Amino acid sequence: MRNYNYIKLKEYIKKHGNITSTEAQKLLDVTPMTVNRIFIKLEEEDFIIRVKSGAIYNNNTGRSDIYGHRVEMHNREKLSIAKHAASLVENGENIFIDAGTTCSMMIPFLPYDVQIYTTSFSVLKFANLYKKRNIHIIGGLYSPSFQAVELADNLNYYNRFKFDKAFIGVVGILSDGTLTNTHLEETKLKEFFTSIADKSYILANHKKLDEKSEYSFLPDKAFSVITNNHLPINNEEVEVIVSEA
């Protein structure tokens, strides 16, 4: 049965290009711990690259299929959002890129002379892959499950940073603009980074509308949501930007 689950998940990822942890649990009818064990094995084989929400296919050419022409529709939506987000970045800016598939997809489209700050080791991998020269990992407690830094002992540690723009990934967005996430410490970081950035952008496809989760926050100042379809957000402080397909 274990070998069957391993093969089934591997075939799914190769066909679709990615899978979330939740989708993998439903596909195999197993626990999150079992999915994580299979992900670890596939990552050791360089078959996948772990991201916050799950895993993406590594086609062994060094670049994931998420950037190729054979991208499935779900990833095309994310890629469209990522391209639009990257187009807002100007040379010389300091930006924060959050963990998550869509955020990682921004990397190849960013200007060359930009300072990239992140808590995500997946973002770091892609930045190195696409030869982005200015990449900074922000310190804190490392989470193997998310392949990212979660939180330093004291939020004051992060006061040293200042960003022109922050690009944030979330589990969901509610109709009043509230953002949802699955992990408390990670949620605290997202909220903090949106507060210290001059401008914050939430990257979320239309499927994340009204997606609830254990934790949530509402940024204390105006922010934008970059999405692939109109989202009926009833909050004057939230700008909805629809990316071109």
> To which residue do tokens 């299929």 refer?
65
CA pair distance 110, 159, nearest whole angstrom: 25
Q: Model confidence at 225, in pLDDT bands (50, 70, 90)?
A: very high
- Taking residues 233-242, what's their average pLDDT? 90
Taking residues 145-152, report their average pLDDT. 68
> DSSP class of residue 209?
B
The arithmetic mean of pLDDT across residues 21-40, rounded, is 90
Residue 233 DSSP SS3: coil
> What does the mean pLDDT of the chain come to?
84
What class is the 73-242 domain?
A: alpha beta
Amino acid 68: pLDDT: 43
Looking at per-residue pLDDT, the higher value among 226 and 186 belongs to 226
- Is 2-67 CATH 1.10.10.10? yes
CB neighbour class for 63 (10 Å; exposed up to 12, middle 13-18, buried from 19): middle
**Mean pLDDT to the nearest integer, 188-197:** 91
Give the β-pairing of 223-227 and 179-181.
unpaired
C-alpha to C-alpha distance for 55 and 203, rounded to whole angstroms: 18
CA distance 89 to 110: 7
pLDDT for 244: 76
pLDDT digits (tens, 9 = 90+) for 121-134: 888 888 887 777 79
On the question of pLDDT at 241 being above 80, the answer is yes
Query: Which pLDDT value is given to residue 245?
Result: 60
d(Cα 194, Cα 199) in Å, to the nearest integer? 8
The structure's pTM equals 0.70
Residue 129 three-state SS? helix
User: What integer pLDDT is reported at residue 218 of this predicted model?
Assistant: 92
224: pLDDT confidence band, cut at 50, 70 and 90?
very high
What pLDDT sits at residue 142?
73
- pLDDT surpasses 60 at 211: yes
Sorted by sequence, the CB contacts under 8 Å of residue 43 that are 6+ apart come out as 49, 50, 55
Mean pLDDT of 192-196: 92
pLDDT at 74: 59
Task: Quickly tell me which residue has 């010389």 as its tokens.
Answer: 92
pLDDT in tens, 152-187: 666 777 788 899 999 999 989 999 999 998 888 888
- Nearest-angstrom CA–CA distance, 52 and 21: 9
Q: Which runs of consecutive H residues, i.e. helices, occur in 17-106?
A: 21-28, 32-44, 73-87, 101-104
Domain map (residue ranges) of the chain: 2-67, 73-242
User: What is the end-to-end Cα distance of the chain in Å, rounded?
Assistant: 41
What is the C-alpha separation between 195 and 223, in angstroms, rounded?
10
Q: 156-194 burial, b if ≥16 CB within 10 A, otherwise e?
A: eebeebebbbbbbbbbbbbeebbbbbbbebbbbbbbbbb
Whether pLDDT at 194 is above 50: yes
pLDDT tens string 46-92? 788 776 567 878 765 444 444 443 334 457 788 899 999 999 999 99
Q: What is the pLDDT of residues 95-123, one digit of tens each?
A: 999 988 899 889 988 988 899 999 888 88
Q: Which run of H or of E encompasses 202?
A: strand 197-203
CA–CA separation, 125 vs 121, rounded Å? 6
pLDDT higher than threshold 70 for residue 231 = yes
Q: Tokens 């987000």 appear where? A: 85
